[in-house]
Amino acid sequence: MAELNTVARPYTKAAFEYALDKGNLDQWSAMLSIAAQAAQDSEMALVLGNPALTSEQKAELIIAVCEKHLDEAGTNFVSLLAENQRLALLPEIFAQFENLKANQTQSVELKVTTAFDLTEQQQQNLTQALGKKLGREVSMTTEVDKSILGGVVIRTEDLVIDGSVRARIAKLAEAMNS
């Protein structure tokens, strides 16, 4: 997995810098999303893994599937990836691109798990508090998991804040067993 990150990073950086320079971050995000979805498709993965196809044919296939979503620069990017036999990196490039975009726009997506549904006011209060704490604009999705008993679990890609009752009980049990 770390190797994919490393190999994808220069392509991601080049695409991000180009998109940032042109003011097309959202457009590039959409293009990479569609191309990544196409590359991840199980049938497409079989075709892209076919050694009988040339790099050009593989690029043409991805471009044909994503045609109405790719501009000229996006088409050139897919062709470059195919030429370097890196089409399989599209999902990783998209993920890295989204991280760079979030850092650039100072936003973060959170997944909040609670034992019970949050009211609209509670969601707004939590979003504001987390925005201040993280120093970013926060967008939040919520889910209910009764097994946490109470409290809240907040997740981003690189941060987990577990304020659930279940976690506190586990910590107490561990302390008692020590």
Q: What is the pLDDT of residues 8-60, one digit of tens each?
A: 999 999 999 999 899 889 999 999 999 999 999 988 888 888 889 999 999 99
Pick the more confident residue, 139 or 80: 80
Tens digit of pLDDT for each residue in 60-77?
Answer: 999 999 988 999 999 999
Pick the more confident residue, 131 or 91: 91
Alpha-carbon span 60 to 46, nearest angstrom: 15
For residue 110, what are the β-bridge partners?
A: 140
Residue 161 pLDDT > 90: no
Check which CATH number belongs to the domain holding 34 and give it.
1.10.520.20
Place of tokens 């506190």: 168
Domain stops at, among 51, 74, 102: 102
> Looking at the 3D structure of the chain, how many domains does it have?
2
Asked whether residue 148 falls in the same domain as residue 90, the answer is no
Asked whether residue 11 falls in the same domain as residue 94, the answer is yes
Asked whether residue 119 falls in the same domain as residue 87, the answer is no
pLDDT at 62: 92
- The pLDDT of 109-134, averaged and rounded, is 90
Tens digit of pLDDT for each residue in 131-160?
Answer: 888 788 888 999 999 999 888 999 987 788
Alpha-carbon span 62 to 178, nearest angstrom: 57
- Mean pLDDT of the chain, nearest integer: 89
pTM of the full predicted structure?
0.62
Alpha-carbon span 101 to 98, nearest angstrom: 5
Asked whether residue 115 falls in the same domain as residue 96, the answer is no
Alpha-carbon span 138 to 70, nearest angstrom: 29
Domain stops at, among 102, 132, 166: 102
Asked whether residue 78 falls in the same domain as residue 161, the answer is no
Alpha-carbon span 92 to 12, nearest angstrom: 9
Asked whether residue 92 falls in the same domain as residue 32, the answer is yes
Q: To the nearest whole percent, how much of the chain has pLDDT over 90?
A: 54
Q: Please give the structure tokens belonging to residue 163.
A: 């304020």
Domain that holds residue 84: 2-102
- With residue 25 as reference, give the H or E element that holds it: helix 25-40
Asked whether residue 91 falls in the same domain as residue 32, the answer is yes
Asked whether residue 87 falls in the same domain as residue 131, the answer is no
Asked whether residue 54 falls in the same domain as residue 73, the answer is yes
